[in-house]
Structures are given as structure tokens and as C-alpha cells.
Amino acid sequence: MMGQFMYLKDVTTLSLNQERCVGCGMCLQVCPHAVFSLTNGTAEIVNRDACMECGACSRNCPVEALIVQSGVGCAAAVINSLIGRKKESCCYIEPSGGKGNPPECSAGPGRSSCC
Amino acid sequence: MNYRVESGLYALGRPDHRSPVLVTANYKMSFDRLREALPGRNLWILVLDTKGINVWCAAGKGTFGTAELVHRIESNGLVRIVSHRELILPQLAGPGVAAHEVKKLSGFKVIYGPIRSTDLPRFLDSRLKTTPEMRLKTFPILERIALIPIELVGAFKGGLAVISIFFVLSYLGNVGEGSASALNHGLFSALSILMAIVAGGILAPVLLPWLPGRAFSIKGLTTGFIAFSFIMAFRLNGLTTGAGRLEMVAWFLLILPISAFLAMNFTGASTYTSLSGVKKEMRWAVPFQISAGMLGFLLWLGAQFIL
């Protein structure tokens, strides 16, 4: 897509099980980077490297056809969690056990973006 | 400063039981932007308690989530206020809210609206249809610039200490040549660190789409090199001595990794980097930044005190 930012290639943990897909199109609606398209009633990953692992698609997939290890791509949060700095710092990543809430990223008020 | 608004149901204009219900976070800016985008409209705004955090971050944390939404629907008696069963949510609430679960738990159908509140009038007037552009999170230059100060505050906290150390050390290292020369060296060191911060903290975010490479650290190396060239231009006459040449090599090894590190930290402010990608980048970038910086510092000390 023209003018769209792209981060590293071949890193995303996103996977789609097309057998399960019912073609509801929710993933197309929530994805902020146009990763999916709908062809013949089945979702398809057409822009894999644009995925930022926000987790919106898997959360809104009613048949669990989408799996992604969601998290916030924030270097400061990775550093803070590595050195064990938590509460006192702006952001950190809480280890998440499989599915469930995405790794925690705490952002102070006044921030227009996460961490 | 209080960035929170009270959670609950708000009326915009004179809404009735058929009016649409829009859902937002209780971060003041989220709420105000939403109101400002809808002049002269009659509708309901349901404000969730997201602890004063904006929609996207709160959705990532799960505070703008299914449970909170279902709870607010019930506690505000929404079923008695509107006759329809539809809610319009910002698209970026997606990471926190599972539309199908909301439907199951509350009977309300979640409709994901556009990302930007400014697209809402068009969305509402086109019978809740979005265009592909409305669904795409961009990262335009003004948005990047707006995020620079908050990132710089962190950089300057550490940067000020580093600048002071470099200033004092280079003053002490050159005090033999007289205090004027020592002061000159001290200021030059301070300026060099400052330029490294400007390169990684300001230049890299502003020039983001035009800098080569996908990894933010690589983008930061380019802006670091620009800053180094600028510094170099100040010291061309110093290259005649061995100490002068060694100092420039040292600054090359210091400015580039500092800039790369700060640019890498901008991943957190950006709207398109994945955690897997950031981890992959950091695996090689951080060791490189630390070793180059350490080597640079040792050579710099050598240039100040030994040669």
C-alpha cells in the first residue's frame, strides 16, 4: 500500500486458520493496517508484514481462527521488563500467559500513544 | 492537571431513544475530540472508565474492554434509554473489546466506526459505512512531531547527567592548556552529546519515512551520522593532531549509537511496530549500541587524558 509504514519483515506471530474462518469480516474492520482481505467468503492475510500484533483481529474473531501473540512494540517497555523495573517506570511488559490480555503496557495520562 | 472525565452516559444535543450511541474513553482529549467532531448532532456518548488513558492504549491494557463496556451498559441503564441495540465504538478499541462477546453478554451489537473522530460525520451520514482510508492508522509528520517532546523528556533526564560528565571530564583533561581551551573542550563535548540526542530524538522521528532501513536503530544511525558530520565541521582544524583525530573517531562511536538508541525508543510512540519486531531489532541493536558506545567512551578518554 502506498505511503504505508512497514516495520521488519517476517516477524509477526499472526496466523490464520482458514478452515475455521466463517467470513464475517470482523478482522478486516478492526485491523488498523489493512492486513486482511476477504475473498470468496474467507479471510486472507494479504499484507503480513504490516501486522503490528495489536491483537484486535484475534480478539474479535468469533471462531478463534486468528491467533497472534499480541503486545506493544515498545523498546522502552522491553528494556524495563528486562531490568525488572516495573511500577515506577512509564511502561513495562507484563509476561502474558498465552491467550488473554495482551502484555501490559502502562502509559501515563497525557500520552497520545502507548509508551 | 486532570486528564479524566467522569465515566457515564452523556447527551450531545438532544438525543432520543433512536439516537446513536458512541463509546469512548475517559481521557479528556479523547472525549473532547469526539464532541468537537460532531457539532450540531444529537446522540449519546457512553464514556468508559479507562483511568484517564486514551482509547488505543486502554484497549491494549484491557481497561477499554469487554467487561468494562458491558458493565457501563448495565450501570447506565442503556436498554431503557435507547430502543435500538447498537453501539458505535472507535476502531482502535478492537484490541480490548470482543464484539461477539459484548453481543452475547449485553444484547448490544458493536459497530466499529472510523479510527479518527474527524471521519465520524461522514460515517454517520453514510449509514455507518467506512472507507478503507478510515480504517487505516497512519503516522503523519504532525503526529510524529507531537510525540517528540514526551520522548525527549526521558532522553534529557539521562542526557543532562551524561552532558555534565563529559563537560567536566573534558575540562579536566584539557585544563593544562589553560582554562579557555578547557572550557572550549568542555562545551564541544556537551554540544556533541546534545547533537546525538537531537539526531535520535528529533531528527529520526521527523524524517522517519525517508530514512533508509526498516529497523528504527538503522534510521537512527543515519541521523546520527548527520549529527556527527555537523560536529566534525566544527573540529576540522583539530584533525591535525593525533588526539584530535582520536577524539573524532571517539565521537563517531558515541554519537551514532546514542542516536540509534533514542530512535529505537521511538518504536513505543510509533503506530506500526510489533513486539516481535522490536525484540528482534533489540537483539542485535542493543549489544551493538553498548559496545560501540563503550569503545567510543574509552577512546574519548584516551584523547582527553593520554594523547
Choose the mutation target among B278, B286, B290 for the interface with A, i.e. most A CBs under 10 Å.
B278
- What is the number of structural domains in chain B? 2
In-domain check, residue B274: yes
**Do B121 and B247 have their domain in common?**
no
**For the residues A69-73, what does the mean pLDDT come to?**
92
Closest CA–CA distance from residue A42 to any residue of chain B (Å): 18
Statement to judge: residues B198 and B278 lie in one domain = yes
**A65-84 mean pLDDT:** 90
Place of cell 448495565: B74
Between chains, do A11 and B280 touch, taking CB under 8 Å as contact? yes
| Residue A104 pLDDT greater than 50, yes or no | no
C-beta separation of A91 from A114 below 8 A? yes
User: What is the structure's pLDDT at A86?
Assistant: 59
Q: Answer yes or no: do B267 and B184 share one domain.
A: yes
Query: How much is the average pLDDT of A21-46?
Result: 96
Chain B residues with CB under 8 Å of A52 CB are 271-274
3-state secondary structure B177-219: HCHHHHHHHHHHHHHHHHHHHHHHHHHHHHHHHHCCCCCHHHH
User: Do B121 and B173 fall within a single domain?
Assistant: no
Residues A55 and A22 in one domain: yes
Answer whether residue B2 is part of any domain: no
Does one domain contain both A55 and A28? yes
Which residues contact residue B109 at a Cβ distance below 8 angstroms, ignoring those fewer than 6 apart?
A: B85, B86, B87, B99, B103
Bridge pairing between strands B21-24 and B43-47: parallel
Clarify whether residues A25 and A59 are in a common domain: yes
Distance from C-alpha of A67 to C-alpha of B97, rounded to nearest angstrom = 16
**Structural contact between residues B153 and B202, judged by C-beta atoms closer than 8 angstroms:** no
Q: Of the candidates B135, B161, B189, which is a domain's last residue?
A: B135
Query: According to the model, what pLDDT value does residue A95 have?
Result: 45
Boundaries of domain holding A114: 72-115
Q: Given B77, B109, B135, which residue is the final one in a domain?
A: B135
Query: Domain check: are B252 and B233 in the same one?
Result: yes
**Preferred mutation among A46, A47, A59, A79 to probe B, highest tally of B CBs within 10 A:** A59
Tell me which chain A residues have a C-beta less than 8 angstroms from the C-beta of B146.
112
Both A52 and A80 in a single domain? no
pLDDT at B13: 96
CATH code, domain with A29 = 3.30.70.20
> Does residue A78 share a domain with residue A50?
no
Cβ contacts of B270 on chain A, cutoff 8 Å: 5, 73, 113
Please indicate whether residue B165 or residue A66 has the higher confidence score (pLDDT): A66
> Do the domain assignments include residue A107?
yes
Q: Are A115 and B269 in contact (CB under 8 A)?
A: yes
Q: Which residues of A touch B289 (CB under 8 A)?
A: none
Strand order in the sheet with B86-89: B8-12, B43-47, B21-24, B86-89, B109-112
In a domain, A7, yes or no: no
Q: What is the pLDDT of residue B241?
A: 85
Supply the pLDDT for residue A84. 78
Task: Please indicate, yes or no, if residue A6 is contained in any of the structural domains.
Answer: no
pLDDT tens-digit map of B11-46: 999 999 999 999 999 999 999 999 999 999 999 999
Question: Has residue A110 been placed in a domain?
Answer: yes
- Residue B270, chain A, CB below 8 Å: the answer is yes
Residue A2 maps to a domain: no
Asked if B136 and B115 touch (Cβ cutoff 8 Å), the reply is yes
B residues 164-223 lying closer than 8 A (beta carbon) to A: 208-209, 214-216
Query: Given an 8 Å threshold on Cβ–Cβ distance, is A109 in contact with B52?
Result: yes
Higher pLDDT, A21 or B306: A21
In a shared domain, residues B129 and B150: no
* ipTM of this predicted structure: 0.89
In this model, does residue A97 exceed pLDDT 80? no
Chain B closest-CA separation from residue A10 CA (Å): 9
Domain count, chain A: 2
Based on the fold, state whether residues B153 and B292 are members of the same structural domain. Answer: yes
Q: Is residue A3 in a domain?
A: no
Residues of chain B with pLDDT under 70: 1, 307
Same domain (yes/no): A61, A91: no
- For residue B1, is it within any domain? no
* Domain hosting residue B246, numbered range: 141-305
Chain B partners of A1 at a C-beta cutoff of 8 Å? 136
Q: Does A40 lie in the same domain as A78?
A: no
- Say whether both B105 and B184 belong to one domain: no
What mean pLDDT, rounded, does chain A reach? 80
Confirm or reject contact between B109 and chain A (CB < 8 A). Answer: no
Is the domain of B289 the same as that of B210?
Answer: yes
| Boundary of a domain, candidates B113, B135, B157 | B135
Task: Grade residue A101 by pLDDT with cuts at 50, 70 and 90.
Answer: very low
* Residue A58 in domain: yes
Please name the residues between 43 and 102 in chain B that touch chain A, using a CB distance below 8 Å: 52-54, 56-57, 59-62, 91-92, 94-100
Domain assignment present for residue A112? The answer is: yes
Summarised one tens digit per residue, pLDDT across range B215-270 is: 999 999 999 999 999 999 988 877 888 888 999 999 999 999 999 999 999 999 99
Residues B102 and B181 both lie in one domain: no
Residue B187: HSE in the Cβ half-sphere, 13 Å Cα cutoff: 8
| B197 shares its domain with B282 | yes
pLDDT at A99 over 70: no
The answer to whether B5 contacts chain A (CB < 8 Å) is no
Among B57, B133, B136, B271, most A C-beta atoms within 10 A, so best to mutate, is B57
